[in-house]
Amino acid sequence: MDEIFLVDITATKEKRKPDFSLITSISKRCFVPLTVGGGIHGLEDIRQVIRAGADKISVNSEAVSNPGFITEGARIHGKQCIVVSMDVMHHDNGSYEVYIDSGKKPTGLDPVEWAKRVEEYGAGEIFLNSIDRDGTKRGYDIPILRRVSEAVSIPVIACGGVGQWITLLRAFWRKGIRSICCKHLPSH
């Protein structure tokens, strides 16, 4: 394991701040980069999360509603600190759409176009979660991962759908997919 993502997926919906004491506790025992997301809505939130021991922050809803937040966060803390999370849904007509509010609210944003914009705003990485695949163990949504990773020069972290080790290998064979999230791998 070379990085840990700690995301409180209900913090924004419940209008809560990040759990700074939990972040501090984890960061004291963590010897790899720590990224924290959920409930981050202002520059002060970023500062407090980093002060608690995180190396990076991850934002989704706030990035969509206030793209300047990406730019300001990157200006103050560096691009390497800002990860934009994208919850993406594949529709029956073949199109993809970015969702916010824990994957509940459609934005009308195309993931490829949004990825290009967040890179321009100053994001250092994109964390792309396939809503349709998350928890299914059916494998990553390679077509959207490929399209997004080929559209930007920043790292794209794949999430949602891994269930077998071969899934990980397939993701790494794809151009531009630099990291993967593997929450549901078998233990053997």
Q: Are 185 and 150 in contact (CB under 8 A)?
A: no
Answer whether residue 188 is part of any domain: no
**Contact by Cβ (8 Å): 103, 156:** no
> How would you classify the pairing of strands 82-90 and 96-100?
antiparallel
Which pair of tokens denotes residue 160?
């949602």
Tell me how far the alpha carbon of residue 184 is from its chain's centroid: 17
- 53 within domain boundaries: yes
Lookup result for tokens 């919850």: 87
Our count of domains for the chain comes to: 1
Task: Please state whether beta strands 96-100 and 105-106 pair in parallel, antiparallel, or not at all (unpaired).
Answer: antiparallel
Is 34 part of a structural domain of the chain?
yes
Amino acid at 179: S
Domain-embedded: residue 103: yes
In a domain, 187, yes or no: no
pLDDT score, position 186: 41
The verdict on residue 119 lying in a domain is yes
Angle at 37 between CA 36 and CA 38, to 5 degrees: 140
157 lies in which domain range? 4-180
> Closest by alpha carbon to 36, among 24, 28, 166, 117?
24
Residue 106 belongs to a domain:
yes
Answer for the pair 15, 44: CB distance below 8 angstroms, yes or no.
no
> What pLDDT shows up at residue 38?
92
pLDDT of residue 183: 45
Ordered mean pLDDT values, 10 residues apiece, the chain (188 residues): 81 87 91 92 96 96 96 97 96 96 92 98 95 75 89 88 56 51 42
Residue 1 is predicted with a pLDDT of: 56
pLDDT at 36: 95
- Is position 185 within any domain? no
- Spacing of C-alpha 36 from chain mean position: 10
CATH code at position 93: 3.20.20.70
Q: Which helix (H) or strand (E) holds 60?
A: none
